[in-house]
Amino acid sequence: MPEDLVTLHKPPITAGERKISRFMLLFESIVKVPLFRCQHCGECLLSSTAFICCQNCPKRLRNGPCGGTGEDGSCEVYAERKCVWYRIYFRSKRLSRISLLYKINKIHDWNLEGTSAWLNVFRKRIDGPIWLVRNDKQKVKDMIVDDVERED
Ligand code: SF4
Ligand code: SF4
């Protein structure tokens, strides 16, 4: 498996660090649970998903919708809700952050579940947030051209 598709639990979380993580998670929760309904995955993708937590998808998908999204944008599992990825797409468009949706997010490392994402950024297990996106439309065009050229 290509290394850049998985966090590979680097550096490993020690027992001591898990204790610190629990403490940090308390503070993280104060901000991220009410604002984003954070599910404590430990590998935060918020800045790549237009600040909507993709982990509220019942299937916990991290790289786009499942294919069962209704035409009206409803979720396949909970029809009364909008698909999380449908919302992410439209908000990304509004915020000019569509190019970030082309990035392949890593496979979730379940060892990091329930740990502090802030600590994991600090320890360089996961990438830090992307705050500013410049030339979003141009980046998307470039990526589409690259894809077409690869297929030729
Ligand atoms: S840490 Fe994971 S669960 Fe929490 S907001 Fe970020 S992506 Fe969502
Ligand atoms: S429709 Fe959307 S929110 Fe519902 S399970 Fe599929 S990807 Fe997840």
In a domain, 82, yes or no: no
Residue of 27, 33, 45, 109 best suited for mutating to test ligand 1, as the one with most atoms within 8 Å of CB: 45
Is residue 70 a part of any domain in this protein?
A: no
Residue 59 lies in a domain: yes
Q: What is the pTM of this model?
A: 0.91
Any domain includes 71: no
83 part of a folded domain: no
Distance CA 144, CA 134 (A): 17
CA 116 from centroid of its chain's CA atoms: 15
Question: What is the residue whose two structure tokens read 């797409």?
Answer: 89
Output the DSSP codes for 67-83: S---TTSB-SS-TTSB-
Indicate whether 119 belongs to any domain: yes
Residue 23 belongs to domain spanning: 2-64+97-151
Question: What average pLDDT score do residues 130-144 get?
Answer: 95
Assigned domain for 116 exists: yes
- Is any ligand 1 atom within 6 A of the Cβ of residue 32? yes
Domain for residue 25, yes or no?
yes
pLDDT tens, 13-61?
889 999 999 999 999 999 999 999 999 999 999 999 999 999 999 999 9
pLDDT band at residue 2, thresholds of 50, 70 and 90? low
Question: 57 CB less than 6 Å from ligand 1?
Answer: no
Residues 63-101 pLDDT 10s: 999 999 999 999 999 999 999 999 999 999 999 999 999
Structurally, how many domains does the chain consist of?
1
